[in-house]
Amino acid sequence: DKGYTSLVSDRSIRMLRARHYYEAAAKQQSAHAFIRLGDYHFYGLAGLLVDYEKANSYYKYAADLHHGQACFNIGHMYQFGLG
């Protein structure tokens, strides 16, 4: 039981640290960072609530940088009426 709690908390800390660096990379116009931040909002990761509008916004930033996965994610969201 204690090991599981430690694992969850370690994962949470790693996710928060990763989010910090993705945000820093996004400020430098990294398409991959925009994708990951979009995913964090899409799935509600790293202390964020699910927010399809913000996810879509991050995916659009990445799509503007010609990132194929971003275009796919936006299409998926439109197909299923998300954001």
Average pLDDT across the chain, whole number: 92
pLDDT confidence band for 67 (50 / 70 / 90): very high
Give the pLDDT confidence score for residue 52 in this predicted structure: 98
How far is residue 42's CA from residue 57's CA, in Å, rounded to a whole number?
A: 11
Residue with the larger pLDDT of the pair 8 and 24: 24
CA nearest 58: which of 28, 37, 83, 80?
37
Mean pLDDT of 43-61: 97
Residue 81 has pLDDT above 90, yes or no: yes
Whether 2 and 37 have beta carbons less than 8 Å apart is answered as: no
